[in-house]
Each structure stands twice: as C-alpha cells, then as structure tokens.
Amino acid sequence: MRHLLSTADLAHDDAVDLLDVAEEMTQVAEREVKKIPVLRGRTVVNLFFEDSTRTRLSFEAAAKRLSADVINFSAKGSSVSKGESLQDTIQTLSAMGADAVVVRHGGSGTPQRMATSGWIDVPILNAGDGTHEHPTQALLDAFTLRRVLAGAPASGPAEGARGRDLSGATVAIVGDVLHSRVARSNVHLLTALGARVVLVGPPTLMPWGVDAWPAEVFYDLDEALAAHSFDAVMMLRVQLERMHQSFFPNPREYTRLWGLTEQRWRALPEHTAIMHPGPMNRGFEISAAAADSPRAVILDQVENGVAVRMAALYRLLIGTDSEGRP
C-alpha cells in the first residue's frame, strides 16, 4: 500500500490487516512510556487547509507515539493566504524532507492529485477531501464496531476482535449523506468487510445516484428502524456550513423526522451501538440522552482513532518485510 486515499481502494484482507495492526497499537497506550521507536528519524507533515480538532490532534498523537517528528501546517497564517499554489506548498515540504504527508483539503480529489502529480514522492494520507472521502474515520468506525460485535471493550486492548470482519452486521448511517465524506468512506469499507449498510435521510440530503451505491436507502427514519434490527446507528452531523440553500424546513422539523431523539433511542434494541463521527450538534441530529448513554461509543471512536492512524502510518512507512510479515 503506497497511499491511503480512499476506502474504495482497500480490499477485504487489506482492511482486516489494518484493523489487526491497530489492535497491536492499542497496547502502546497501556505502556508507562506511550511510545515505540518504529518511526524514529521520520518526519510526518500534517497539512490542513480546513479547520479540524479531532483528526489533526489524532494524527499528531499517532505520529508522536511512533516516535516520528511532526510538522503541523495550517493554511491560515501561511503563504497560502498570500496566494501560494498547492504545488509550491507541496514542493516546499518535499525540500524540507517530509517522509509522509497527511492532508485535509476542501477540494475533492486533492490528495489524489498530490499522490499522482510528481510534486512529492512520499506516502499521502487523506484526512478528508471536500465531500469525497475520509478513510481513516471509516477505519476507526469499523475498528470500534468490530470490537462491539466481538463482545470486547469498545476501546483499549482486546484479543477477541483480532482477525474478524463485520459479516452479519447491519449499520444505519443517518442524516446529511449528501455532504458527508464519512458516509461515503463507510459505505465502501463496511460493505467490503461484509456489513449491510442502510442510508437514511431526507431526499434533499441524499447524493445523486445513491440508488447505485451498495446500500439500502430509506427516507423515513422510523420506517428504517422498524424494518431492521441495527447493530449500530451512526448519526451524521448536518453540515450547515456547506449548505447555501434550504435543504429542510427548519432544525426542529429535521430533529422530529430524522434526529435520534430520546424516544427513538429508547426504542432501539439493547445491543445497538450509538456512533457519531463528531463534532455533534446535541439536540439537533442526536439527543443528549442518546449521546451520553452507556451504548454510545462516540468517545471510544475518538480514542481508537489514534491506534488506527498509528496503524496507517506504520503500514505506509514501514509496511512488511520480504516475506510479507509486519
């Protein structure tokens, strides 16, 4: 694996392998010194053209736990604000000796452009590009769900989940699918791992051609909840900052029809995990009762993100030996 640009590029065995490596990485957090020297002397650049808290800090923590040097780049306050092109920025990073670049950009396809342009010859990790994909978020979601299905703790060391996929699981992804790169990555990855994916949301927030996706589509949340016994319900943030027109009447109407209200949460099966990629709009797409319930694994998703990103950096920068072993 040279780059991590899209979950559509991950075959079943590649995805399971990454999740298994992440299981190994969770043990680092249990050590007195939370570091291993596998990337000592390597430099990882976090190149963020969009605001981020969870993803940027998670990648930074992941690189530092692997003993890599980290350079954090933010478009705000940089030469980008003076008109510097993406090409010049990337070539500057290359000249500084970057060994891997983690990029988040508002333009869909930017990481792919970087990986194929010849501007820099290092692994590129997509940390979210426009409304296209967010592969490490989907990986950490699958990692968390795999543990839930295995009956293991949702975070921390667990042997029971190793080697498993998500065969037999049914997952609902609810809300603003149109603007969600998380939804796109999850549909690809969860399907590749054997799960059944159900998309739910208003027709105006479903992308064109969604009927051709490997997922069942509902426009009524109550109808979907009645039709399936879900192993996980993943609520998506309504991305108001990307909306330049009205996609639904008002927030109260959205909550009534598509929000995970306390009433809907209490009606879910006891085994259903509550997920959210964050940040959450409490009281809008998800109620406080659901977000804070014992079945919510939202903070576990954040914790697991560090181990998953450690696994991705490790695989891209170290990979396997001549016999295919980690």
Q: Would the annotation count 315 as a binding residue?
A: no
Q: Would the annotation count 55 as a binding residue?
A: yes
Q: Would the annotation count 137 as a binding residue?
A: yes
Tokens, residue 242: 């990307």
CB-based contact 65:310 (threshold 8 Å): yes
Distance CA 265, CA 210 (A): 26
CA 73 to chain CA centroid, Å, is 20
In angstroms, how far is the first alpha carbon of the chain from the final one?
13
Q: Would the annotation count 144 as a binding residue?
A: no
Q: Would the annotation count 147 as a binding residue?
A: no
Distance CA 113, CA 119 (A): 9
Distances (CA, A) of 97 to 36, 64, 120: 22, 17, 10
Q: Would the annotation count 35 as a binding residue?
A: no
Distances (CA, A) of 184 to 128, 176, 214, 230: 11, 11, 11, 19
- H/E stretch holding 203: none
Q: Would the annotation count 228 as a binding residue?
A: no
Q: Would the annotation count 301 as a binding residue?
A: no
273-275: strand order across its sheet:
216-218, 196-200, 170-174, 232-235, 273-275
- H/E stretch holding 310: helix 298-317
Residues comprising the binding site for carbamoyl phosphate? 54-55, 104, 134, 137, 278-279
Residues comprising the binding site? 54-55, 82, 104, 134, 137, 181, 237, 278-279
Residues comprising the binding site for L-aspartate? 82, 181, 237
